[in-house]
Structure 1
């Protein structure tokens, strides 16, 4: 609770003793007569009485001044009333200003509600400090509420993940049971077929053994046409044995496939210096492309292989067989393209024929203004990317006519496309912000390893 300020009405005092029970520390009253401005004014804090004759009585100290000086409110000499040249040791609540005792008695604030300065200061301090406590309580309550909200959200996410995990485990268990039952069914099927084949063979052996030669010569055609055992045929999948069709297009498997390709021996892949646009700068080692500001651009010698309007460049190695994979460090670039194109792609002009992803001869993954998309023949397919990759891997598998974009760190597939490529492919790049760098050189893994992965993913 805030301390209520003491309110006093000042009048000229007399030599008469105060009435019994009257508080001389805060209130001084005088009979209705001419007031002598030099009458003593009683201190409101300590009750000490001091007389004023233009200066304080020797030995008498204003408790208000002492208290305020000790508390740091005043520094140096106290301010004086301009009208009465007396110390401003009272506060007028009516006019909200500091006054002297003469102002309260005979001055402009006569009859107003006045309070000793020390009491007013104490009340303000108490009020301010009391107001801080509710604010602290509100802040703590808000922080506690926010913490509980975050914990509730985390708990909800945890519960959702646990439910999803349980659901997936149940699906896996169901699939395991189904496949196991399918295998048992197939085993019984082939067991019966084997028994029938054995019986047919026994009959054939008996016929060949016990039939006279003359009859064998006549019945040759009948013997060769052996009755096929019921249910026996070439081994193949059945409806009961087929697995989930989605397994043939598993992004996880394709990502592992792409990562495995990188484990093969190195083959040199660099940017082809002849194709680099004048809008780009190529490092001396031919592994980094950097977008140039206008003032830093120079006109390179004319070359029919060079892109002259779009910030494009091509790789140095042609691909028309086998399986190949490489990784591009895209860093913080906000605008780039990575992919493949035919060697016959247009190099000159600002039309779509020379713009990667906007013609039928190029396939690229594009990043611009925070969005990722796959571009081919002028059509953009938006891609959902959980986090912005710092590097992008590409895989070209010529036998299966597959182009794959993936994130090497997590083996997450960003996009894959199957297309009947009709001509050799070249790595294709475009940069319109900062730099990109070839990290992993083109790699060719062992043929047997790729054949196994290709079989699993097809």
Structure 2
């Protein structure tokens, strides 16, 4: 040990071996040494600096570490605040969603209960009316049977005799009763209430459902020349040769895309696109103001929220960076849901109503559907069109 205790009352400590003041610091051994230790002692050849310089360097190093720790502490504090915000938001959003789910299902239950009540009342009224009519017909029928019995008994008694004069008298007394006019016998007309009951109720249920598949259409004026739009404007198919179209600012001239004819800047919207078994397609929404000229990049920062399929199995959400999606079954119809105020664009397997991906954003301009059936490649098999699904109710 080369240092003899700590300095007392400001006195500099001395080397236990040489008795000289410890005025230097050995960077190798990380300790204070005297001049003899540094020149000819055990620290010879080591890097040695003055204690003041070492102290300054150590303070500078510690200050740098302190700044790093303070920065990390600040980062963790910010992270903790974000966790707290997200915790609060999760609780609030979950409560809002729970209330919404309860209200939606309560509305459905109320609708079904009301429909059931109305139908049961109609059945009860029909039953009551039918039974009352049948009771009336039964009472009339019994009265007629009694009257006929009163006529039949004397005749039956007369038939038991062999006295001709008695028979003649009975025959003269007998008068044919007036012809009876019988009302038709009613029956309970159950067929009035039969048929596809659940389907009829399901169709009426659309009166209370706020978001149903909308029958959007394509905008001819935006379609790339290699795209053909059907007469009803709900199907688009890629071509091998361009159509003789008029070029205009609204038309895509490079990207094989077409926009929808309906833009929106408020509300909740849902539509479905039939993709069949195509190996590639692009579907999404974009700001109505996106450029139609040159190549376009699907990314939210450029105002496009898009899902793509390539090679029949590679699904990708075009985000920043792109996100590879794991899709268990190949959907034949894609559902797209947009909540403008809520800042949500969701994609679904429309047949299973299974979520594929959701984008979150803050929309600032009108949105419009964007579609691309992609280029028609040699050897492409099957139906290559995209069709906007229309729900017929």
TM bracket, shorter-chain basis: 0.3 to 0.5
Whichever of the two has the greater Rg, that structure is 1
User: Please, what TM-score do these two structures have when normalized by structure 1?
Assistant: 0.38
TM-score by length of 2: 0.44
